[in-house]
Amino acid sequence: MSAAPPSAPTPPEPVEPPQLLQLGLDDEPCLRADAARNRARLLEAAAGLVAARGADAVTMEEVAAAAGVGKGTVFRRFGDRTGLLMALLDHSEKKLQAAFLNGPPPLGPGAPPAERLRAFGRAALRRTVEDLELQLAAEPDAGRRFTVPPYRVRHHHVALLLRQAVPDADCDVLAHTLLAQLDPALIHHLTHQCGMPPQRLEDAWTDLVDRITGTPA
């Protein structure tokens, strides 16, 4: 009896980045020009109020007044306060995703993987510090924390860069370990309760990436 033919080699894992994923609210590209301007003004006004007073203190009426539109416009566009805050968080997250998936290097494609990892962590930390109150208010429960689209996009991105930099590591698990350093609750604890400056967190991220990849900047 002849020997069984050798098995076909396992095809390599695709390396294309995932499509842009968001929290569930679209930017509605088909909006009329005036409606698009109103939406942009509302998001800008909401971002300013959240940064100044915290997400819990922001009302729909205050956002409408700050944007110079009627209260009914806010409710028609976002439904309620939760919808407005989620749209604001979605808008911020998509800007970060666009930068690390398709933007210029070193955050975007074209730089060595370790350099892109350093840039990703610094950008994500800055974004979290800027939107900290909003991110804490929108933090998913434990059952969904690692399955929501924004986290899955980040995990895929970090794991992909790790496979390029340290192919012999368990990159799926290691990506979760790295992303834990970007957790909003941890950043709140370190910056607000421990008094650490954000620059120290960025330096710690860079140091961790250097140690894991063995490629210091």
pLDDT at 107: 97
pLDDT (average), residues 73-90: 86
pLDDT (average), residues 127-150: 86
Quote helix, strand, coil % in the chain, to nearest 5.
65, 0, 35
Nearest to 191 by CA among 126, 134, 142: 126
Angstrom distance (rounded) from CA 83 to CA 196: 32
What are the pLDDT digits (tens) for 166-190? 999 999 999 999 999 999 999 999 9
What are the b/e assignments for 134-163, b being 16+ CB within 10 Å?
A: bbbbbeeeeeeeeeebbbebbbbbbbbbbb
- Which residues are CB-contacts of 184 (< 8 A; sequence separation ≥ 6)? 128, 132, 135, 136, 139
The type of residue at 205 is W
Nearest to 140 by CA among 178, 183, 171, 100: 183
What rounded mean pLDDT belongs to the chain? 84
pLDDT at 31: 54
Name the token pair of 206.
Answer: 């860079």
Angstrom distance (rounded) from CA 19 to CA 17: 7
pLDDT (average), residues 130-139: 83
Residue 113 to residues 106, 191, 207: CA-CA distances in angstroms?
9, 28, 15
| Residue 35 confidence (pLDDT) above 70 | yes
What are the pLDDT digits (tens) for 188-202? 999 999 999 999 999
Distance of CA 177 to the CA centre of its chain: 16
pLDDT at 156: 97
